[in-house]
């Protein structure tokens, strides 16, 4: 049982201003796995004040100083790697193999990428007699979710630290264990007091206090579009910068010249990974109408290979994160049935033999139309909607007919896939299930958010641009 009742403020573990413990539930067992404290406005005020005090000195540190610091963080992270992976399994149900090979691994990936970018990043550019200086924006508030908990902490903290910002983190109260270990890593690495602070809490209290705080210069939020709207609304009166990575309903267009077996089978398995709890998951599969019957058979066979079970075993997927999420997913599966979609595999209820834990059957619907609820709403579970199209133009139109625009997927002959990719309204387009790129900007069009994370694009989110006019003598500029 984990007891993480203190917050990390100004380089020390401190008690909350007011005790308000919360049980954290293991989604595989439905048992209490630990406790955290829910913070309040007074805790946020203390953390922001610490970050504000630390900013003048930390913002003036050298590139070499920050490279040394990030290397120290990476070394400490490596020491705690297995513990972090185990915490992720316990808090949000990721299978052990996924926690080790992807969930914890991506934290290391962001550290390596941030260090590589910082080594060569240009913070100054002389244009004529004017110096363009890129300077850290100030105190940053980070509000992160539970589905890829370390990823979404690291992709904010690493670039912010690299450019000289100070920060306050509010991780998800549903999956807070890995954030605690991340904070212990930061402390052990020698991050100066006040540069990084942790306050646990819920969105309506701590999240709102951070996003509205007058001494916070920038808020970066990852989560639902609904919550993102509230963050932006709270931030508006103080005109702070807001970066958001929100929901998705990503299309996966299977072109007529794609290998149907590979494209459909891999699409099903890819979509189910992490129990479907990825905002960029390829949840809408568009298949040529004449190939739909064959695609159904392939999808059914692929779904049946997606084993469900305890995250401590060898199952491909574990539970979803909470009872609330389980109930939401079940309601949407039933909605798909009620609205007339063809149930190819899975369906309502828990898989046989898994009565305890928030397990969902890997579910595939076919003959889905884009006006159905399961085609419009982000389900955030292992539920795939297969949709027929009659022409390539229709496939592109259906793919773009969503309020979201985080990712899109295209399968087909390379040149053909590239042509279609250019027409997709999404922040990332993945061709033929290409491997991820840690340097590729990550973020969305439309209601999937604004701003970009990952790689060098992330640095820009935490920098202001200052023009120093007359910096160089006119003769020197010539």
Inside any domain, residue 474? no
Instruction: Give the burial class of 443: count Cβ atoms within 10 A of its Cβ; 0-12 exposed, 13-18 middle, 19 or more buried.
Output: buried
Task: Based on the fold, state whether residues 309 and 240 are members of the same structural domain.
Answer: no
Task: Based on the fold, state whether residues 288 and 363 are members of the same structural domain.
Answer: yes
Task: Based on the fold, state whether residues 303 and 395 are members of the same structural domain.
Answer: yes
How far apart CA 401 and CA 378 sit, in angstroms, is: 14
Inside any domain, residue 25? yes
Task: Based on the fold, state whether residues 238 and 261 are members of the same structural domain.
Answer: no
The pLDDT value recorded for residue 474 is 75
| Domain count within the chain | 2
How far apart CA 341 and CA 213 sit, in angstroms, is: 46
The pLDDT value recorded for residue 98 is 98
Task: Based on the fold, state whether residues 143 and 229 are members of the same structural domain.
Answer: yes
Inside any domain, residue 375? yes
Residue 24: φ, ψ to 5°? -110, 125
The pLDDT value recorded for residue 282 is 98
* Residue numbers of the domain that contains 286: 251-431
Separation of first and last alpha carbons in the chain: 68
Integer angstrom CA distances of residue 109 from 345, 420, 429, 454? 35, 30, 21, 10
Task: Based on the fold, state whether residues 230 and 134 are members of the same structural domain.
Answer: yes
Task: Based on the fold, state whether residues 353 and 459 are members of the same structural domain.
Answer: no
Paired sense of beta strands 251-254 and 284-288, if any = parallel
- Active-site amino acid positions: 245, 279
Q: Which residue matches tokens 């109260």?
A: 173
Task: Based on the fold, state whether residues 311 and 210 are members of the same structural domain.
Answer: no
Task: Based on the fold, state whether residues 360 and 458 are members of the same structural domain.
Answer: no
pLDDT digit of tens for each residue in the chain (478 aa)? 999 999 999 999 999 999 999 999 999 999 999 999 999 999 999 999 999 999 999 999 999 999 999 999 999 999 999 999 999 999 999 999 999 999 999 999 999 999 999 999 999 999 999 999 999 999 999 999 999 999 999 999 999 999 999 999 999 999 999 999 999 999 999 999 999 999 999 999 999 999 999 999 999 999 999 999 999 999 999 999 999 999 999 999 999 999 999 999 999 999 999 999 999 999 999 999 999 999 999 999 999 999 999 999 999 999 999 999 999 999 999 999 999 999 999 999 999 999 999 999 999 999 999 999 999 999 999 999 999 999 999 999 999 999 999 999 999 999 999 999 999 999 999 999 999 999 999 999 999 999 999 999 999 999 999 999 999 987 654 5
Integer angstrom CA distances of residue 206 from 20, 61, 144, 178, 231? 13, 30, 12, 19, 11
Task: Based on the fold, state whether residues 272 and 382 are members of the same structural domain.
Answer: yes
Inside any domain, residue 436? no
Domain CATH code at residue 295: 3.40.309.10
Token couple for 169? 């983190």
Contacts of 261 (CB under 8 A, 6+ apart): 298
Inside any domain, residue 151? yes
Contacts of 114 (CB under 8 A, 6+ apart): 70, 158, 159, 161, 162, 458
Could you tell me how far CA 445 lies from the centroid of its own chain? 15
How far apart CA 274 and CA 146 sit, in angstroms, is: 12
Task: Based on the fold, state whether residues 239 and 256 are members of the same structural domain.
Answer: no
Inside any domain, residue 318? yes
Inside any domain, residue 439? no
pTM listed for this prediction: 0.96
Domain CATH code at residue 459: 3.40.605.10
Token couple for 268? 């099903």
- Rg over alpha carbons for the chain, rounded to the nearest Å, is 23
Contacts of 37 (CB under 8 A, 6+ apart): 4, 5, 6, 7, 16, 19, 20, 21, 22, 200
Task: Based on the fold, state whether residues 275 and 379 are members of the same structural domain.
Answer: yes
Asked if 450 and 244 touch (Cβ cutoff 8 Å), the reply is yes
Contacts of 30 (CB under 8 A, 6+ apart): 323, 356, 357, 358
Asked if 184 and 129 touch (Cβ cutoff 8 Å), the reply is no
Inside any domain, residue 41? yes
């Amino acid at each position: 049982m984990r007891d993480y009742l203190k917050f990390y403020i100004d380089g020390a573990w401190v008690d909350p201003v007011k005790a308000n413990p919360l049980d954290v539930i293991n989604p595989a067992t439905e048992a209490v796995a630990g406790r955290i404290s829910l913070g309040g406005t007074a805790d946020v005020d203390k953390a922001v004040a610490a970050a504000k005090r630390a900013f003048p000195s930390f913002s003036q540190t050298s590139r070499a100083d920050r490279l040394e610091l990030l290397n120290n963080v990476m070394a400490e992270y490596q020491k705690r790697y297995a513990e972090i992976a185990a915490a992720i399994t316990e808090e949000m149900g990721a299978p052990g193999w996924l926690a080790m090979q992807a969930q914890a691994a991506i934290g290391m990936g962001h550290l390596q990428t941030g260090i590589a970018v910082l080594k060569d990043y240009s913070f100054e550019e002389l244009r004529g007699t004017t110096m363009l200086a890129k300077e850290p924006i100030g105190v940053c508030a980070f509000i992160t979710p539970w589905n890829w908990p370390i990823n979404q902490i690291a992709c904010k903290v690493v670039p912010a630290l690299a450019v000289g910002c100070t920060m306050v983190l509010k991780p998800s109260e549903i999956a807070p264990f890995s954030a605690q270990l991340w904070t212990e890593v930061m402390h052990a690495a020698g991050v100066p007091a006040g540069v990084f602070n942790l306050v646990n809490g819920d969105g309506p209290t701590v999240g709102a206090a951070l996003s509205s705080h007058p001494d916070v210069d920038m808020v970066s939020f990852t989560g639902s579009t609904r919550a993102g709207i509230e963050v932006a609304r709270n931030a508006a009166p103080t005109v702070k910068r807001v970066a958001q990575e929100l929901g998705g309903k990503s299309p996966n267009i299977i072109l007529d010249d794609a290998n149907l077996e590979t494209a459909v089978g891999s699409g099903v398995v890819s979509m189910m990974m992490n129990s479907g709890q990825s905002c960029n998951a390829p949840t809408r599969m568009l298949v040529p109408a004449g190939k739909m019957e064959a695609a159904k058979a392939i999808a059914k066979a692929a779904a049946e290979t997606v084993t469900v079970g305890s995250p401590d075993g060898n199952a491909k997927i574990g539970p979803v994160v909470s009872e609330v999420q389980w109930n939401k997913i079940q309601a949407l599966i039933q909605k798909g049935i009620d609205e007339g979609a063809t149930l190819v595999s899975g369906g309502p209820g828990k898989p046989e033999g898994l009565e305890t834990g928030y397990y969902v059957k890997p579910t595939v619907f076919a003959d889905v139309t884009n006006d159905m609820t399961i085609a419009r709403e982000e389900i955030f579970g292992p539920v795939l909607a297969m949709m027929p199209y009659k022409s390539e133009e229709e496939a592109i139109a259906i793919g773009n007919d969503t309020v979201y625009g985080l990712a899109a997927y295209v399968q087909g002959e390379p040149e053909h896939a590239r042509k279609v990719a250019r027409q997709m309204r999404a922040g990332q387009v993945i061709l033929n299930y290409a491997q991820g790129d840690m340097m590729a900007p990550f973020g969305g069009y439309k209601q999937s958010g604004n701003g970009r994370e990952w790689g060098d694009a992330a640095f820009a989110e935490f920098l202001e641009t200052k023009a120093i006019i007359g910096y160089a003598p006119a003769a020197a500029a010539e």
